[in-house]
Amino acid sequence: MGNIKDKVAIIGMGCTKFGELWDKSCGDMIVEASYEAYEDAGVDPKDIQAAWVGTFLSGGAGTCIANPLNLDFIPVTRVENACASSADALRNACFAIACGMYDLALVLGFEKTKDCGFTGLPEPSYLHPIFDAGFTAPGCFALAATRYFLKYGLSPEEGKATLAKIAVKNHHNGSFSPKAHFQREVTLEQVMNAPVIAWPLGLFDCCPTTDGAAAAILTRADLAKNYRDDYVQVKGLGLSVGPALGNVRTDYDYTHWPETEFAGKQAYEQVGISDPRREISLANVHDCFTITELVNYESLGFSPSGQAKDDVDAGTFALGGELPVNTDGGLKSFGHPIGASGLRMMYEVYKQLQGKAGPRQLKDPKLGLAHTLGGTPGAFTCSVVILGQRD
């Protein structure tokens, strides 16, 4: 496997306010995110040569953005890769820029999950009948939590408190994010005593159902300085997809996710990172549930196996900690419009690398990671994108 290190730059990004956007159509959100990105990059929309869109269920084919953006017969690819849709859309756009096919590309992710566009998981007609049993996302991730507690000897109370601390951290970070779905703190007590959704996951262990869109403008790194001085470079692109659709693989360890591990390793190798905990300045990782973030700490190599609890207790991943994670609030607080989440994470990393993250701003971050995860354990789609300050 090769790399595209330092060949592709992000010169503009945009992100809508996330939330229950009852008064906005998909087209409204697409236009809002794209025009913020155009303006941020200082590009004329007419100069965009090709586009990629990531959406799970809210749009079909490239036309779903060509229409509201009135893109003029340029190439537009729709990538659907569950919750990693827009992260993978960006990955493919990077390849197209890196190989020299296009000089200027738009990548957009969006999803309407409230008033239209989301009718639950798609009918799994492509599954073998033995896998065709129903499951819910909370139920599926709850099993990872109970398994994790058992394997590492956490009592139910210890386990639940560890997860709750992640929710408290992410809500704290989200309180500094004007575009977050929820901009309020929660207390440990509130999280611990919230109604149970699927034990041990309570209401505040689960991310919300959110509408939103995010966008990026890409160009070749050697052209980026023509647009702005503080462009951001795409350093590493990892993707790993698990084959165990139906959640019944007997050799899969549900407390450590190889999809996350392999996507991370691909990206680390491309960038030359041997100690991610020390070399990465910040990370936005997929936290559809608090247990998801906990397991991802370990699968990404931020914590040794079974020791993420100690790091959570020590505040390692807090805004002022050794490796701040989900600095904008994460899925938990910023929200999770499925197709938009990958680019939303990169939006935060991009702003942090530019020193423009407002009250959340970290001190001179050099490298930031965005990790998105879709599907179910054993059949996850995991993307890891590493962005860095220009050399």
Q: Which residues bind a second copy (CB under 8 A)?
A: 1-4, 7, 25-27, 49-50, 58-64, 66-67, 69-82, 88, 91-92, 95-96, 98-103, 112, 116-117, 122, 124-126, 128, 237-246, 258-259, 262, 266, 374-375, 379, 381
Q: Closer CB to a second copy, residue 152 or residue 252?
A: 252
The token pair that represents 120 in the structure block: 């639950």
In the complex, least distance from residue 146 CB atom to a second copy, rounded to whole angstroms: 24
Q: Closer CB to a second copy, residue 208 or residue 375?
A: 375
Location of structure tokens 């849709």 = 85
Q: Closer CB to a second copy, residue 91 or residue 181?
A: 91
In the complex, least distance from residue 259 CB atom to a second copy, rounded to whole angstroms: 6
Catalytic-residue membership of 83 = yes
DSSP H helices in the chain: 26-41, 63-69, 85-98, 137-151, 156-174, 188-192, 221-224, 258-271, 276-279, 290-299, 308-314, 330-334, 341-353
Identified catalytic residue from 181, 286, 336, 371: 336
Q: Closer CB to a second copy, residue 91 or residue 160?
A: 91
Number of H helices, E strands in the chain: 13, 11
Please name the residues in contact with 193: beta carbons below 8 A apart, sequence gap of 6 or more.
Answer: 202
Q: Closer CB to a second copy, residue 75 or residue 306?
A: 75
Contact 367, 279 (CB under 8 A): yes
In the complex, least distance from residue 250 CB atom to a second copy, rounded to whole angstroms: 14
Residue 113, classed as helix, strand or coil, is coil
Q: Closer CB to a second copy, residue 284 or residue 383?
A: 383
Q: Output the CA angle 183-313-199, nearest 5 degrees.
A: 70
Identified catalytic residue from 15, 26, 83, 207: 83
Instruction: List C-alpha distances in Å: 100 to 38, 49, 104, 106, 234.
Output: 21, 12, 10, 15, 15
Output the DSSP codes for 145-165: HHHHHHHTT--HHHHHHHHHH
The conformation of residue 209, written as its DSSP 8-state character, comes to -
The token pair that represents 181 in the structure block: 């779905």
Known catalytic residues?
83, 336
